[in-house]
A and B are shown apart, each in its own frame.
Chain A
């Protein structure tokens, strides 16, 4: 069982995306996942998952990836 934290976080976002996708439009899912990460994830976890966007095979599912991209935009806006 791997406990690489980066992988754990990717697994977590994918799981959140899977649970927020059924019966909803894509935009709604992406917004839902992004808001979830904003509300519940620690600063270091957010930074880490945003950093994983640069990894070629991060393992993020397409919906999860869109949500993390949106998170990255909002984090940048917040910092700026």
Chain B
């Protein structure tokens, strides 16, 4: 099933997908136009011909969709068979002799084309698809010279165009009803928003119930646009700009799926992003963000000039790069001279490349001389690092995304893949349509449960904050009902740890009956779920921030690992423990040594041998004690012992919990250096603002949730003249620690030299293979798609005791409701990018979802303004009544800074990693008539800081 990147395979459309599973299929020998070829059993004649470089004309066939056989253009003749079967729906058979071109077939194809063209506008010269139209190509290929029927007959030429979607148009007058869009929506995306309405001549593509695209269930993933062979579904950016003239394969900078895209360009103008078929993470699929929401990269809000100021109540002063860097270096040095080596630190970015992240932590460790480095994984997946390293020995997910296609039972805990990891969500839904069982543990009824053909899905609607009680109950059932995989445990797991865990988990207090009152999930449902997972064959667990962002996030991760170990669901395809990572490079930023206690490759700073290697390579002595984590930095800043912070590409003022505490910390700093593409919330507290570069403006690599290292390739020059890594190099030099790099590939070479799991990674190898999954070294020269196949990095798998400890953040009389937070498909995280695109049309404000029964007792109606108060603060959002929530639980998103979702989240955090407990906040809601005090103050600060920026911009121009 695992197939490596082969560049030759992706340049062409082979007409139909490979038969699956290709590896086991017997070879079949056929002869096509006299050319002998051997292909796997189940391959279509169309694909076999294409593999032999014989291109049979086709319209309704494309190799990412199942064969459909509607256009009949690929008709062929088979020796010994009657008629002219369609090559796309005819599988090869041993000894088959196929003719693809002769007079009879030519006449047939011409006749077919003639019918198509008799109902098609002949405006090819002014058509947006001109130069990229399969209908035009096929008319040429079959030699169509006349249309005997004329163009006056009944036709669809007057059909009206639907412009409702901000990114693409639907012009039904150009539609040939090949159904590729309908099938892409079903097979690739799994949304089923499109259908063919009517019969015969009346057949037409229809979104929803014959609605405009925007009013239908369409999620704007772009699969239909990509599948359309004509200009019926066409990107508005191509309608405006014309066909691109070159393209560069690169990696999306949104979520942790890490889709490969072709950035299609005209000079240095990005015309469109087309998902790359050769991308091993996405296989040619995309979502609305990666596919369409790239306009932020050239938005007028981009910061293009370095700026400095003495204090944050002063206007910005635009300066040259040299002056800004010298100013920053001077301040950092002065602060260290006065307050000590440990008084400064930095935050690396999960948005930037591996190379850039590596350099920032190197700057901190080598030039600042301390380990005060952290990254936004602190607030999302740090418990994954801790929990998986403790149990399985490596801080990463165990599988490839493709592995889900072998899973028989899928557990999704605290994740919402169709919104937050949409391309993987589509793959998972494909597997669910094939019949895999689904178990969702989530307080909220997520969209995955709405997938067609899924009546059997199990939903465990647990109370927020009771994950560990639930996972213990699941494990209790496995152990007490004899569902363990004893062979696996005996062979692969540490015996002593297993015995201790088994005694612990078998205790009656962990039974589903005992924990029912805590979790709110019926014992029967828990037992059924455990049986499904343990007995289905391949059981796979996928989880997200609903697992990690709790006071017991790390415990829950270990509980998940226990469950997988106990059932032997580790070490092969179709199983595993799979964290769905949030940011594009959050895996990479952790791998690159962003945490205060670990050098790159998760090597502890106290490890003498590892530290020695870095000291030798970097030419400095390194501190052997861990540094401060982000929340510790904030506390120390407020206390007055931490004075300066260098933040690359992260908006801590919006994304971190308890906003007012963060604001107090940032205001206490004597020097805050922010490097970002926009004036984000954090930058409002900065003294130095260094322009960042978008992912389109630099070379580098991102590592996705499946440990896949993908290349990021520069397609346009940096708007402000420097890529982020160059800025860090300049700052290091100004601090007296010169770094000599001329290209990010040299940084990767250094990473490979110092990080055992990256030893085999280089840009040359990435170009050759497309991508590599670490560990990639002498033992695994081609990378490691599936982890722990033979043994664990710690030898044996270690079961961990997972005692449930109730969170201190619990509902009481003053705060009777539990608030939990999440994401929505169209917006991304703090929204800095997506709010600056047309994705705003889907979600231009954050709302608070609550159950009608909670609303009723408070006299709340849909659309009312609600004040939401926690012990940390208050904010005001509009109400939306929804039965997706259970009574007692309310839900919001955090994509808009003015919403102040994090004004109410508290600084309660995971015991092991201090990952904030975003997912549980006790709140009260009530009807109000005006914004909260914080929001009014926010608006004031926002207005003031924007004014400073505008003044600086005028000065610069």
Contact = CB atoms under 8 A, between A and B. Distances in A.
B766 interface: no
B448 to A, nearest CB: 31
Contacts of A19: 552, 555, 803, 805, 911-912
Interface string B903-916: 00011000111100
Nearest to A13: B911
A39 B641 contact: no
Interface stretch (A21-29, A52-60, A65-73): A21-29
Contacts, number: 74
Contact of B626 (A3, A15, A41): A41
Contacts of A46: 625
Contacts of B504: 22-23
Interface in B358-372: 371-372
Contacts of B606: 38-39
B801 A18 contact: no
A45 B641 CA distance: 12
A16 B661 CA distance: 23
By CB atoms of chain B within 10 A, which of A3, A19, A39, A42 has the most? A42
A42 B627 contact: yes
B925 interface: no
A42 B625 contact: yes
B801 A24 contact: yes
Interface string A1-35: 10101001000100110110111100000000000
B641 A44 contact: yes
B639 interface: yes
B906 A40 contact: no
A38 B626 CA distance: 8
Interface in B499-514: 500, 503-504
A46 B371 CA distance: 15
B317 interface: no
Contact of A23 (B551, B629, B803): B803
B500 A5 contact: no
Given A22-B803, A39-B606, A41-B626, A1 B907 contact: yes
B635 interface: yes
Contacts of A36: 912
B635 A23 contact: no
B632 interface: yes
B946 to A, nearest CB: 29
A20 B804 CA distance: 10
Contact of A1 (B342, B503, B872): B872
B457 interface: no
- Size class of the A contact interface (CB-based, 8 Å): 20 to 34
Nearest to B873: A1
A40 B602 CA distance: 13
Contacts of A38: 606
Contact of A3 (B371, B625, B641, B661): B661
A44 B597 contact: no
B597 A16 contact: no
A44 B326 CA distance: 29
A53 B191 CA distance: 60
A39 B805 contact: no
Nearest to A15: B911
Contacts of A22: 504, 801, 803-805
A21 B504 CA distance: 12
Interface string B711-752: 000000000000000000000000000000000000000000
Given A21-B803, A23-B504, A42-B625, A1 B871 contact: yes
Contacts of B907: 1
B636 interface: yes
A44 B872 CA distance: 27
A3 B801 contact: no
B342 A18 contact: no
B596 interface: yes
A40 B555 CA distance: 16
Contacts of B551: 15
B604 interface: yes
Contact of A44 (B342, B658, B914): B342
Contacts of B625: 42-43, 46
B80 to A, nearest CB: 72
Contacts of B803: 19, 21-23
Interface string B338-377: 0000100000000000000000000000000001100000
A8 B639 CA distance: 12
A23 B626 contact: no
B635 A40 contact: no
By CB atoms of chain B within 10 A, which of A8, A21, A40 has the most? A40
Given A18-B911, A44-B641, A45-B628, 11 more contacts: A3-B635, A3-B638, A3-B661, A15-B911, A19-B911, A19-B912, A22-B504, A39-B597, A39-B604, A40-B626, A42-B628
Question: What 9 A-B pairs come out closest when comparing CB atoms?
Answer: A22-B803, A23-B504, A23-B801, A43-B625, A15-B911, A19-B911, A5-B635, A42-B628, A5-B639
15 contacts: A3-B635, A3-B661, A18-B911, A22-B801, A22-B803, A23-B504, A23-B803, A24-B801, A39-B604, A42-B372, A42-B627, A43-B625, A43-B626, A44-B342, A45-B632
Interface of A: 1, 3, 5, 8, 12, 15-16, 18-19, 21-24, 36, 38-46
